[in-house]
Amino acid sequence: MRIFGKIVLIAIGFVLINYPFIEGKSLYYISIERPDRLIRHLLTSLFALTIVELFAFTKMRYRIPLYGLFLFGSMTYLIYYFTTGSEPDYEDFRTLMDARVMIGHAALSYQGAIIQAILYHLPITVGFFLFPKIHMGWKGTLTAVMLYLLALAGILMIIYNKSGKGTNGRASFITPVAQVSTFTYLNFLRSNAASFEYHPRIAPTKADLLTPKAKNIIVVMDESIRGDMIEFNTPLGTTPALLDFPQDSLLNFGIVASFSNCSDTSNLAMRKLPRLHKEPSDLFVDTTTVWDIAKTAGFKPFIIDAQHNATGHNFYTDSELQDVTNIHGSTLKNDGEVIDIITNILAENSEPVFIYAGLKGSHFPFQNTGFATPFTPAMKNTNLADATSEEAMNSYKNLIRANTNEFFIKLQALLEQNPETIVIYTSDHGQDLSNPSSKKTHCDAKTTSMEEGLVPYILFANPEIIASDLVQTLQQNTGVTNQMITAPMIMDFMGYKPEVIESYTEYPALLNKTGKEIGFIYKRPIPHFRSEIERFDITPKDIQHFQETGKSDKQLEYNFFAD
Ligand SMILES: [Zn+2]
């Protein structure tokens, strides 16, 4: 009787945790009238439950580590589900791993989901450790472990056969373990890297140079700043500092498409200058970087990363930054301080410099302490799940006003003191805060919305540069502008010959394009699994609609149970 009670308690606890996954896929099979697959699905769920039941009847010295293994998988899966409203597939997992230095920030923003997941695990935990004296012999333990390994092998096969997909609705406590195993194998144990089609291109040389157009060239990549958050005409907005800027020394490209809706790929694109339709090859196979292009042109390269010192995220590697001066910025309090660093660099270097600066911007957690908060009502805490869309938006804006506006105030002073300086300002991706409790704000590869890939783009330079041929050509683009125009622009400013810029960047392909041909990438190339990309459909009309209403009304639908 006691044993039966324990079995039932574990079963209830298991169903409590896994109900949305089991139910969702079941309803899907019912809707497509596939009773065979429905039965198979329910049987695999029962199999997963059997493994947990067996785990709970092992000797205590095995039961504790097996519980740890169960908890690791199950908690990770459930927290992700509560946070984003969808189950993590391998690509989601990989995105998390690539952004693992941000984990502290994510934990602050998603405390609610973590607490909820802990509560959901209470019944099964009680059942697990009930009656410690009742246990099986070594044969039972071995069977439990063998069945677990069998299930793990099954999930691994699904991940491989479906290029990282297909794990939705499967044993949630095993899937993250399978994803960790896959990630470890592909990143650390397998020697050959990506299987992308290679499109060679010739890196420019000193013979390809004319005269540089400026002494200092600075590319500023802000963080999570959506296109409409940069305001030029209201003292009450997020960036009133721009009202005081000399208007003949800046060119506003308006709202443009980011390279991708994820930080890492957009940041990598700024350093690899990929060509349209050849992105995977240029990002991950071609070895030439913007640092090489700068050095060839006689510009000393600097990186300032106000987030994580150019390590452990955004695909930075030590070998990439070998000849680059890396100035650590992660301890800075405000993005205005990045300008202080730049001022020092310019003062200390008489030769031309190229600086790539990644700002802190307005990434979650939208912590609103230590500065003025003009936009109200704001979030009461950093937990996105507790916030209404309006509160999240206001906290987001307060942070932009504190960081980005301060950056622009100091930038104006910097440009007055250093007129030989060109600055390109943009952001890595936008932000969708319409449903902060259950949709990813960016980097959503499934229910992607247009807001995730709309960013600002401003060129700060003297009037002659703004009137120059290439800048004018790029500005007169009748299609959607993508921030990929940065590549030809910086090469032009560094003094490369027009025909070299055209053959290296193939930028004419970027012009007068609309829709899926030029929108931001939401399905990214993933080393090992996905070599193709997909772009979000954005038209000039969509951008106009967004500008007028503050909403894109454009979001992809995704059937989570179909994989
Ligand atoms: Zn980002």
Which tens digits make up the pLDDT trace of 377-432?
Answer: 999 888 888 889 999 999 999 999 999 999 999 999 999 999 999 999 999 999 99
Task: Report CA(308)–ligand 1 centroid distance (Å).
Answer: 12
Task: Report CA(428)–ligand 1 centroid distance (Å).
Answer: 5
Q: Is the pLDDT of residue 314 over 50?
A: yes
Q: Is the pLDDT of residue 34 over 90?
A: no
Q: Is the pLDDT of residue 279 over 90?
A: yes
Instruction: Specify the pLDDT at position 528.
Output: 65
Overall fold of domain 210-549: Alkaline Phosphatase, subunit A (3.40.720)
Task: Report CA(431)–ligand 1 centroid distance (Å).
Answer: 9
Q: Which residues of 103-112 are buried (b: 16+ CB within 10 A; e: fewer)?
A: eebbebbbbb
Task: Report CA(235)–ligand 1 centroid distance (Å).
Answer: 27
Task: Report CA(138)–ligand 1 centroid distance (Å).
Answer: 50
φ, ψ (nearest 5 deg) of residue 45: -65, -40
- Note the Cα 201 to chain centre separation in Å: 28
Task: Report CA(33)–ligand 1 centroid distance (Å).
Answer: 42
Cα–Cα distance, 253 to 245 (Å, whole number): 16
Task: Report CA(472)–ligand 1 centroid distance (Å).
Answer: 29
Task: Report CA(215)–ligand 1 centroid distance (Å).
Answer: 29
Mean pLDDT to the nearest integer, 527-533: 74
SS3 212: coil
Cα–Cα distance, 319 to 331 (Å, whole number): 24
Give residues whose Cβ lies within 5 Å of ion ligand 1.
223, 263, 428
What does the angle CA 176 – CA 79 – CA 76 come to, to the nearest 5 degrees? 25
Task: Report CA(376)–ligand 1 centroid distance (Å).
Answer: 24
Domain range annotation of the chain: 2-189, 210-549
Cα–Cα distance, 507 to 488 (Å, whole number): 7
Residue of 213, 172, 205, 220 whose CA lies nearest to 25: 172
Provide the whole-model pTM.
0.80
Task: Report CA(427)–ligand 1 centroid distance (Å).
Answer: 8
Task: Report CA(14)–ligand 1 centroid distance (Å).
Answer: 36
High-pLDDT (> 90) share of the chain, %: 72
High-pLDDT (> 70) share of the chain, %: 97
Strand order in the sheet with 325-328: 250-257, 454-460, 421-427, 216-222, 353-358, 300-305, 325-328
The residue that leads in pLDDT, 38 or 33, is 38
Mean pLDDT to the nearest integer, 79-106: 80
Q: Which tokens belong to 390?
A: 């309006």
Task: Report CA(228)–ligand 1 centroid distance (Å).
Answer: 16
Mean pLDDT to the nearest integer, 210-229: 97
Whether 222 contacts 359, CB under 8 Å: yes
Task: Report CA(261)–ligand 1 centroid distance (Å).
Answer: 8
Mean pLDDT to the nearest integer, 531-538: 91
Cα–Cα distance, 392 to 364 (Å, whole number): 10
Cα–Cα distance, 439 to 454 (Å, whole number): 17
Task: Report CA(224)–ligand 1 centroid distance (Å).
Answer: 5
Instruction: Specify the pLDDT at position 89.
Output: 84
Cα–Cα distance, 30 to 480 (Å, whole number): 42
Task: Report CA(322)–ligand 1 centroid distance (Å).
Answer: 24
Q: What rounded mean pLDDT belongs to the chain?
A: 92
Task: Report CA(225)–ligand 1 centroid distance (Å).
Answer: 9
Instruction: Specify the pLDDT at position 563.
Output: 56
Instruction: Specify the pLDDT at position 194.
Output: 47
SS3 294: helix
Mean pLDDT to the nearest integer, 115-139: 94
The residue that leads in pLDDT, 123 or 30, is 123
By DSSP bridging, strand 216-222 and strand 421-427 are parallel
Q: What share of the chain is helix, strand, coil (3-state, %, to 5)?
A: 50, 10, 40
Task: Report CA(181)–ligand 1 centroid distance (Å).
Answer: 26
Please state which of the ranges 87-101, 200-214, 270-284 shows the lowest mean pLDDT.
87-101
Task: Report CA(233)–ligand 1 centroid distance (Å).
Answer: 26
Task: Report CA(456)–ligand 1 centroid distance (Å).
Answer: 14
Backbone dihedral region of 180: left (phi > 0), alpha (psi from -120 to 50 degrees) or beta?
alpha
SS3 89: coil
Task: Report CA(429)–ligand 1 centroid distance (Å).
Answer: 6
Q: How far is CA 235 from CA 206, 231, 243, 249, in A?
A: 46, 9, 7, 20
Q: Is the pLDDT of residue 192 over 70?
A: no
Cα–Cα distance, 315 to 526 (Å, whole number): 12
Mean pLDDT to the nearest integer, 359-385: 87
Which pLDDT band, with edges at 50, 70 and 90, does 189 fall under?
A: low
Task: Report CA(273)–ligand 1 centroid distance (Å).
Answer: 18
Cα–Cα distance, 13 to 19 (Å, whole number): 10
The residue that leads in pLDDT, 267 or 103, is 267
Task: Report CA(403)–ligand 1 centroid distance (Å).
Answer: 15
Mean pLDDT to the nearest integer, 157-162: 82
Instruction: Specify the pLDDT at position 500.
Output: 98
Q: Is the pLDDT of residue 59 over 70?
A: yes
